[in-house]
C-alpha cells in the first residue's frame, strides 16, 4: 500500500510530456487520472522510476463535433464523457457506458486516454470504442498517427502505442440513430464487468464488442456477420464467444463467461433492435 | 419502512442523535494513527509468502543499509523478549493442543502473512522499503487448506503436536440413554445436511494500528491500540512481556470498527511494546489493507453436519450436530471457543426434548488464524438449524413458516429451561414471526411466486425466513468457568456526581462505533433526572477506567449498561440519606423523581440533586459518619445471558439465465427487549443485516491449494457497498428481559445472525421448482448458475 520511491515531473503540454518521457526512458510512465496506475504502484506491481504527470494538460480535455465523428481529448474525464450533450446526441452508447465506469470518484479522476492506453480487457470504454469503430490519435517525437481501434489492442495491457508515444485524441463515429445497448454484468456496482457487451445495430450493420472475454477487448465479428446475413438475434448471439478466449478468475470460469456472453449479447441485440 | 415508536416522554427510548458523530464526521476524532508522537520509530513486518515453509535463513544486511533504518530482526533475534508465547485465553478442553505462537516466527512459517522478520525505521516508508529487502530463504512444505485433509494428518503442521487436531468438544444431552438414536430411529421425517461456513475477512473501516510509548526512566509503558479490549490487552501484554501490570497502560483512542477482529492480542501489539522497551523510543505500526486481509484474524471457517428428527407433525424430536472447525495456523485469543459459542444454539428457537447431540472437532490449517467475527459461533449455528428447518419443511411438503410455528418455544413457556440447562429469559417467537410475515406480505409473495415461477421462467422469486435467538450479554462468570474460559464476564461502572451536578460515568466497556457515550448518558439521565448533555462518559483508557472487560458479544448494554444503572441506584441511595438529613425527614418518606427528592405528599418540602451534590462536595452538613462526595462503584456479574430474538424474512428475485440474485425486500423484526435509543438499535440492525447478507451473497476468503489468498484485495474480496444492498424494512417487538432492571438484551449481532440463513433460504426457495435443494455461500451468480445446471441436468437424466 506504499509505492516504491519514484520521481515526479509535471508536463504542461503534450510536446513537453513526450520530450520528458523520451528523456527519462524505459521506466518512465505517463500519469493521467492515476486510477489504474497508482493502484498497481501501491501493490508494487508497477514500479516506474519517473511519473510524467499529464493530468494538467488542459488543452487535451475536450469533446468536439468534427463532422462525421466526435473528437474526444485524451485527458477528458469519464464524467465529462458521461454528461456530454454532444455525445448523448451523436454517440449515446459511449456516454452511457462511461456512466458505468467504477463509481463517481473514479469517473471524476479517470481519463478517456488513460483507459484506452491502459488497454485493460476488463475496462468498459476500450470495448465500447472498439464496437463503435473508433480511431485513436497517437503523438510521438516524430509527429502524429492514427490507429484504428481494431488494430490497437495487442495483448493483455498491451497496445500499439510506442513507449514514447502519447495518446492525444479518440475519434468516435457518429451513430446516426442506430439502436444500441450496453450490458455490464457485475456483482457490485463499482466493479469491473465480469462480462460486458457494447452493441449497436442499424439496418444490416452492427458492432458488438465484449468486455473481459480475453486478453484484449474482443470484437464479436461472427455475431455481426451472422446478423448481416439475416440470422435471428438469438441465433447470432450463440456465436458471441467465437472470437473470445475467456480466462478464469474468482467470479467466473471460462464456461460461465461464454454462457454469460451469449445471454448478454442476446439481451443487448434485443435492446438495440427494439 | 421503519417502525417508529411513539416518542416517549423520558430520555430512555428516545431517538437522540449520537453525540459521537460530529467529531467522527468532521475528522476531529483521533484514531491511533492520528496521534502525534515525536520521535516514534515505525515498524514494518516481513511476512511469509508461503503457507507452510521452513525458514532456512534470514539476511537483514540489505535492509539495514537503507537510510533511516534503525534495526531489523528475525524471529530468533527477538526470542529473549517474550516471557511467554502469545496468549490463548480459552483452553476449551483439558487436552486441547495449542502450539507455541510467537510474534515473529522462528523455525517455520505457518500461513501466508505469518511474520518472519521486522524492521524499525525513522519513517514508515523507509521501514516498508527495507522490509522488501530482507532476504528470507524458505524451504516450502505442503500446505493444508482443506479441513477434512487437515483432519487426516496427511501433513502435520505443528510436528511437535503430532496431529492437526486441536480438540474435540462434546455436548450430549439425553433424557434417557440412547434417546437421540431412538428418536432418529422412530422419526417420521429426518434430514441430514452439510453446510460450509466460508471464511470471512473482517474489514473494519480502520485497519489495526498500534503505538507504544515508553517512559524509559520510570519503566511505565503506554500502549495505544485500535482495539476493542484495552483491559484484556493490558493484562495480556503485561503477562506476555513480563511488565508489571501497574506499569502498563492501554488506551484505545477512537476505534473505527472491529466486529470481533479487534478482540485479540496481536503480534504487532506485543512487538511494538517489546521494541519500544528495547529501544527506549516510541514504536508505531499501521496495518495496510493488504495486511488486514492476511494477518488479522478471519471469521467462520466451519463444515457443519446437522441432522434433524421429527415426528409426523414435524415436531422436532432430536438434533445431531458434527462440526469441523478451522482454527487456522495458531490459536489466537479466543479461537477455540468460537465454535462453542454456538454449541447451545443448534436447536434454534424450537422446543426440543432432551435429545441433543453436539460434537465439535477443531483442526489446524496453514491459513490465517480464525477468531471472533460478528456473532462468533451463533450465526453459524443459526444458519445450520434454519437451513435444516427449510430442508425439513421441503421433505414434509409443508410451508417452512408453518413448520417453524409448530416448533417455536411458546410465549407461555418462558422463562424456558432449554435442554442444555440454559434459561431463555423471555420471548415471543410467534409474535415476531407474525409481524415479519405481515411486513413482508408473506402470503402475497407466495401467491406471486406461484404465478411467476413457472417452467422456463427467466426471473423467479423466493421468500426465506430465519428465526433466531441470540445468546448475548456475555456472560455469567460461572458459566464461563464451566466452559474453561480464563476470565469472568462482569462489567464495572463508576458514577460520580461533580459539585455542579454534572455527572461523570466511568465504564469498562470499550466502544468502537456502537454509540456507548450516547446510550450510557441516556441511562444516567433517566436514572438521575439530569439532561443527557450533563453526563460525560469516560472509557477505553485503563488509567481512567481501570476495571473492565470490554466490548464484544453484544454484552455492553446488558452487562455494562446495567452496571451503570446499578451504580446510579447506589448514588441515589446515598443522596437520599443526605436529603433526608437536610429536609429533616425520614428516608422512607422521600421519593426521587425528575432529579428532585421530595417528601411524599408534601411536594414543597424538596431538594434537587444539584443541591445535594454541592452539599456532598462541601461536606459541611452531612449525616454523622458519612463520607463526602457522591460517587458509587458497581461491578455487575449478570445472573444469566440475555436472549434477544426475532424473525427475518427476505424476498429475492433470481435471474435463472445468469444466476444473479436481486434482493427485493428484507424485513427484520428484532426484539432486544427495552430499547434505550431506537436510532442506535436500527443502526446496529442495518450494519448487522448487511454483514450477514454479505456472507450470503458476496464475501469469501478464497485460498488456492497452496494456501495463497486469492481474495487479497478489496477488488476480489467483495464487501458490498450501499448501492449493492437493499433498503431494509425494520420492525420490532419489545419483550423486556426479566433478569436486569433495564429490561435490555443487546442488539450488536442480531442482524448478522438472522441474515445469512434468511437470504439463502430465499434463494433456494426461488429455485426449488427446478430441483435446487441447497446453495453454497456466497450465492454468487456463478454458484447459482452452477446449482441450477446441476439440478436441471440431474432432472433431465
Ligand atoms: C475503484 C476503481 C474502480 C474502477 N472501475 C472501473 C470500471 O468499472 N470500468 C472501467 O473501465 N474502469 C474502471 N476503473 C479504471 C478507471 O477507469 C481508470 O481511471 C482508467 O482505466 C485509467 O485512466 P486513468 O486516467 O486513471 O489512467 P492512469 O492510471 O493515469 O494511467 C493508466 C495507464 O495508461 C497510461 N496513460 C495514461 N494516459 C495516457 C496517454 N494519454 N497516453 C499514453 N499513455 C497514457 C499510463 O502511463 C498508465 O500506464 C476503476 C478504477 C478504480 C480505481
Q: What domains are defined for chain A?
A: 7-53 (3.30.43.10), 58-173 (3.30.465.10), 180-273 (3.30.390.50)
Cell numbers for B360, please give them: 465439535
Distance CA B44, CA B765 (A): 49
Q: What is the pLDDT of residue B588?
A: 96
| Among candidates B132, B724, B782 on the partner chain, residue whose Cβ is nearest the Cβ of A188 | B724
Sheet hosting strand B630-636, strand order edge to edge:
B535-538, B503-507, B491-497, B630-636
Evaluate whether B202 touches B297 at the Cβ level (below 8 Å).
yes
Q: What is the pLDDT of residues A13-62, one digit of tens each?
A: 999 999 999 999 889 999 999 999 999 999 889 999 999 999 989 899 99
Cell numbers for B729, please give them: 424494512
Minimum distance, in Å, between the CA of residue A6 and any CA atom of chain B: 12
Instruction: Give the CA distances from residue A77 to residues A148, B254, B322, B383, in Å, rounded to whole numbers and listed in that order.
Output: 22, 37, 56, 46
Residue A265 has pLDDT above 90, yes or no: yes
Query: Chain A contacts of B702, Cβ < 8 Å?
Result: 250
Q: What is the pLDDT of residue B466?
A: 98
Q: What is the pLDDT of residue B7?
A: 39
Q: What is the pLDDT of residue B794?
A: 66
**Are A185 and B781 within 8 A, CB to CB?**
yes
Say whether residue A274 is in contact with chain B using an 8 A CB cutoff: no
A·B CB contacts under 8 A: 55
Cα–ligand 1 centroid distance for B426 (angstroms): 57
**Residue B412: strand, helix, or coil:** helix
Pocket of ligand 1 (CB under 6 A): A 29-37, 39, 54, 74, 101-102, 106, 109-111, 113-115, 117-118, 123-125, 161, 166-167, 190, 192
Cell numbers for B606, please give them: 424538596
Distance CA B605, CA B589 (A): 11
Among chain A residues, CA nearest to B656: A263
Which residues, at least 6 apart from B454, have a Cβ–Cβ distance to it below 8 Å? Answer: none
Cα–ligand 1 centroid distance for A116 (angstroms): 8
Cell numbers for B751, please give them: 442482524
Distance CA B461, CA A244 (A): 33
Other CB atoms within a 10 A radius of the CB of residue A79 amount to 18
Cα–ligand 1 centroid distance for A157 (angstroms): 11
Which domains occur in chain B, in start order?
A: 3-28+490-636 (3.30.365.10), 32-141+201-295 (3.90.1170.50), 302-474+640-796 (3.30.365.10)
Mean pLDDT of A117-141: 98
* Average confidence (pLDDT) per 10 residues, chain B, 797 residues: 46 96 96 97 98 98 98 97 96 97 97 98 96 98 98 98 98 97 98 98 98 91 98 97 96 97 98 97 97 98 98 98 98 97 96 97 98 97 98 98 98 93 94 98 98 96 97 91 92 98 97 97 97 97 97 95 98 98 96 95 94 97 96 97 97 98 98 97 97 98 98 96 96 95 95 97 98 98 98 70
Cα–ligand 1 centroid distance for A104 (angstroms): 14
In chain A, % of residues over pLDDT 90 = 94
Closest by CA to B468, choosing from B412, B442, B429, is B429
- According to DSSP, residue B498 is labeled -
Q: What is the pLDDT of residue B3?
A: 40
**Are A2 and B715 within 8 A, CB to CB?**
no
| Among candidates B124, B129, B785 on the partner chain, residue whose Cβ is nearest the Cβ of A256 | B785
Closest by CA to A75, choosing from A12, A132, A8, is A12
- How large is the ipTM? 0.96
Amino acid at each position: 500500500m506504499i509505492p516504491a520511491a519514484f520521481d515526479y515531473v509535471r508536463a504542461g503540454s503534450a510536446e513537453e510530456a513526450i520530450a520528458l518521457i523520451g528523456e527519462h526512458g524505459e521506466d518512465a510512465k505517463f500519469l493521467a487520472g492515476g486510477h489504474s496506475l497508482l493502484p498497481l504502484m501501491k501493490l508494487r506491481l508497477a514500479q516506474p522510476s519517473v511519473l510524467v504527470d499529464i493530468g494538467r494538460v488542459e488543452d487535451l480535455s475536450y469533446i468536439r463535433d468534427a463532422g462525421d465523428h466526435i473528437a474526444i481529448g485524451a485527458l477528458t474525464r469519464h464524467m465529462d464523457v458521461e454528461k456530454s450533450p454532444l455525445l448523448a446526441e451523436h454517440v449515446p452508447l459511449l456516454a452511457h457506458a462511461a456512466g458505468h465506469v467504477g463509481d463517481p470518484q473514479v469517473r471524476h479522476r479517470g481519463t478517456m486516454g488513460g483507459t484506452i492506453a491502459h488497454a485493460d480487457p476488463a475496462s468498459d470504454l476500450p470495448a465500447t470504442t472498439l464496437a463503435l469503430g473508433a480511431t485513436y490519435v497517437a503523438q510521438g517525437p516524430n509527429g502524429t498517427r492514427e490507429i484504428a481501434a481494431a488494430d490497437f489492442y495487442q495483448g493483455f495491457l498491451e497496445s500499439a502505442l510506442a513507449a514514447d508515444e502519447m495518446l492525444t485524441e479518440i475519434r468516435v463515429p457518429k451513430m446516426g440513430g442506430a439502436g444500441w445497448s450496453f450490458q455490464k454484468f457485475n456483482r457490485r456496482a463499482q466493479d469491473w464487468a465480469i462480462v460486458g457487451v457494447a452493441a449497436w445495430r442499424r439496418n444490416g450493420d452492427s458492432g458488438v464488442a465484449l468486455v473481459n472475454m480475453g486478453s484484449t477487448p474482443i470484437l464479436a465479428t461472427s455475431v455481426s456477420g451472422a446478423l448481416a446475413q439475416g440470422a435471428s438475434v438469438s441465433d447470432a448471439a450463440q456465436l458471441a464467444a467465437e472470437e473470445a478466449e475467456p480466462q478464469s478468475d474468482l467470479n467466473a470460469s471460462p464456461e460461465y463467461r461464454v454462457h454469460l456472453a451469449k445471454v448478454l449479447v442476446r439481451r443487448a441485440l434485443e435492446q438495440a433492435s427494439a | 419502512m421503519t417502525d417508529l415508536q411513539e416518542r416517549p416522554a423520558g430520555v430512555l427510548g428516545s431517538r437522540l442523535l449520537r453525540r459521537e458523530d460530529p467529531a467522527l464526521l468532521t475528522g476531529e476524532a483521533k484514531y491511533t494513527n492520528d496521534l502525534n508522537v515525536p520521535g516514534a520509530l515505525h515498524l514494518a513486518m516481513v511476512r511469509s509468502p508461503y503457507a507452510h515453509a521452513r525458514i532456512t535463513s534470514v539476511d537483514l544486511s540489505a535492509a539495514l543499509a537503507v537510510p533511516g533504518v534503525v534495526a531489523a530482526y528475525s524471529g530468533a533475534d527477538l526470542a529473549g523478549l517474550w516471557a511467554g508465547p502469545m496468549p490463548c485465553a480459552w483452553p476449551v478442553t483439558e487436552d486441547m493442543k495449542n502450539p507455541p505462537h510467537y510474534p515473529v516466527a522462528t523455525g517455520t512459517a505457518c500461513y501466508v502473512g505469518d511474520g518472519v522478520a521486522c524492521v524499525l525505521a525513522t519513517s514508515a516508508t523507509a521501514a516498508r522499503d527495507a522490509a522488501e529487502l530482507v532476504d528470507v530463504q524458505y524451504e516450502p512444505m505442503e500446505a493444508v487448506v482443506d479441513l477434512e485433509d487437515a483432519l487426516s494428518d496427511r501433513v502435520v503442521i505443528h510436528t511437535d503436536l503430532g496431529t492437526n487436531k486441536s480438540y474435540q468438544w462434546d455436548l450430549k444431552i439425553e433424557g434417557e440413554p440412547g434417546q437421540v438414536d431412538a428418536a432418529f430411529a422412530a422419526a417420521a421425517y429426518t434430514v441430514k445436511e452439510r453446510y460450509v461456513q466460508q471464511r470471512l475477512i473482517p474489514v473494519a473501516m480502520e485497519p489495526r494500528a498500534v503505538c507504544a510509548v515508553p517512559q524509559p526512566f520510570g519503566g511505565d509503558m503506554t500502549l495505544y491500540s485500535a482495539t476493542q479490549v484495552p483491559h484484556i490487552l493490558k493484562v495480556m501484554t503485561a503477562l506476555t512481556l513480563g511488565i508489571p501490570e501497574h506499569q502498563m497502560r492501554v488506551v484505545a483512542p477512537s476505534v473505527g470498527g472491529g466486529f470481533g477482529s479487534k478482540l485479540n492480542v496481536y503480534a504487532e501489539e506485543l512487538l511494538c511494546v517489546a521494541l519500544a522497551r528495547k529501544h527506549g523510543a516510541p514504536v508505531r505500526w499501521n496495518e495496510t489493507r493488504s495486511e488486514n486481509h492476511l494477518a488479522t484474524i478471519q471469521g467462520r471457517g466451519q463444515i457443519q453436519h446437522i441432522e434433524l428428527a421429527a415426528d409426523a407433525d414435524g415436531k422436532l424430536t432430536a438434533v445431531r450436530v458434527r462440526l469441523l472447525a478451522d482454527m487456522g495456523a495458531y490459536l489466537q485469543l479466543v479461537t477455540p471457543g468460537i465454535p462453542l459459542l454456538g454449541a447451545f444454539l443448534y436447536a434454534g428457537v424450537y422446543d426440543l426434548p432432551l435429545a441433543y447431540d453436539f460434537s465439535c472437532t477443531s483442526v489446524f490449517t496453514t491459513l490465517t488464524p480464525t477468531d471472533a467475527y460478528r456473532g462468533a459461533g451463533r450465526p453459524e449455528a443459526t444458519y445450520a438449524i434454519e437451513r435444516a428447518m427449510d430442508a425439513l419443511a421441503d421433505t414434509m411438503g409443508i410451508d417452512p413458516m408453518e413448520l417453524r410455528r409448530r416448533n417455536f418455544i411458546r410465549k407461555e413457556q418462558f422463562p424456558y429451561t432449554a435442554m442444555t440447562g440454559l434459561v431463555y429469559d423471555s420471548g415471543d417467537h410467534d409474535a415476531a414471526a407474525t409481524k415479519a410475515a405481515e411486513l413482508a406480505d408473506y402470503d402475497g409473495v407466495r401467491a406471486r411466486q406461484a404465478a411467476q415461477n413457472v417452467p422456463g421462467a427467466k426471473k423467479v422469486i423466493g421468500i426465506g425466513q430465519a428465526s433466531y435467538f441470540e445468546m448475548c450479554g456475555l456472560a455469567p462468570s460461572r458459566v464461563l468457568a464451566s466452559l474453561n474460559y480464563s476470565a469472568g464476564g462482569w462489567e464495572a461502572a463508576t458514577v460520580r456526581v461533580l459539585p455542579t451536578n454534572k455527572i461523570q460515568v466511568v465504564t469498562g466497556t470499550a466502544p468502537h462505533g456502537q454509540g456507548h457515550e450516547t446510550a450510557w448518558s441516556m441511562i444516567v439521565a433517566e436514572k438521575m433526572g439530569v439532561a443527557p448533555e450533563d453526563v460525560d462518559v469516560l472509557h477505553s483508557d485503563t488509567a481512567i477506567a481501570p476495571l473492565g472487560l470490554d466490548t464484544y458479544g453484544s454484552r455492553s448494554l446488558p452487562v455494562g449498561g446495567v452496571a451503570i444503572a446499578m451504580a446510579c441506584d447506589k448514588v441515589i441511595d446515598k443522596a437520599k440519606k443526605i436529603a433526608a438529613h437536610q429536609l429533616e425527614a425520614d428516608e422512607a418518606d422521600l421519593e426521587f423523581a425528575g432529579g428532585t427528592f421530595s417528601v411524599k405528599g408534601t411536594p414543597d418540602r424538596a431538594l434537587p440533586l444539584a443541591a445535594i451534590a454541592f452539599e456532598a462536595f462541601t461536606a459541611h452538613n452531612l449525616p454523622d459518619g458519612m463520607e463526602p462526595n457522591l460517587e458509587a462503584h458497581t461491578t455487575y456479574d449478570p445472573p444469566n445471558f440475555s436472549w434477544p430474538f426475532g424473525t427475518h424474512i427476505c424476498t429475492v428475485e433470481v435471474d435463472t439465465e445468469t444466476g444473479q440474485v436481486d434482493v427485493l425486500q428484507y424485513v427484520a423484526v428484532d426484539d432486544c427487549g427495552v430499547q434505550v435509543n431506537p436510532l442506535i438499535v436500527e443502526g446496529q440492525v442495518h450494519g448487522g443485516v448487511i454483514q450477514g447478507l454479505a456472507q450470503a451473497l458476496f464475501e469469501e476468503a478464497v485460498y488456492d491449494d497452496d494456501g495463497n489468498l486469492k481474495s487479497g484485495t478489496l477488488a476480489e474480496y467483495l464487501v458490498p457497498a450501499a448501492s449493492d444492498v437493499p433498503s431494509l424494512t425494520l420492525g420490532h417487538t419489545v419483550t423486556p428481559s426479566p433478569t436486569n432492571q433495564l429490561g435490555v438484551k443487546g442488539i450488536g449481532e442480531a442482524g448478522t445472525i438472522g441474515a445469512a440463513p434468511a437470504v439463502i433460504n430465499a434463494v433456494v426457495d426461488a429455485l426449488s421448482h427446478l430441483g435446487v435443494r441447497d446453495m453454497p455461500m456466497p450465492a454468487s451468480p456463478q454458484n447459482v448458475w452452477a446449482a441450477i445446471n446441476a439440478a436441471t441436468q440431474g432432472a433431465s437424466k
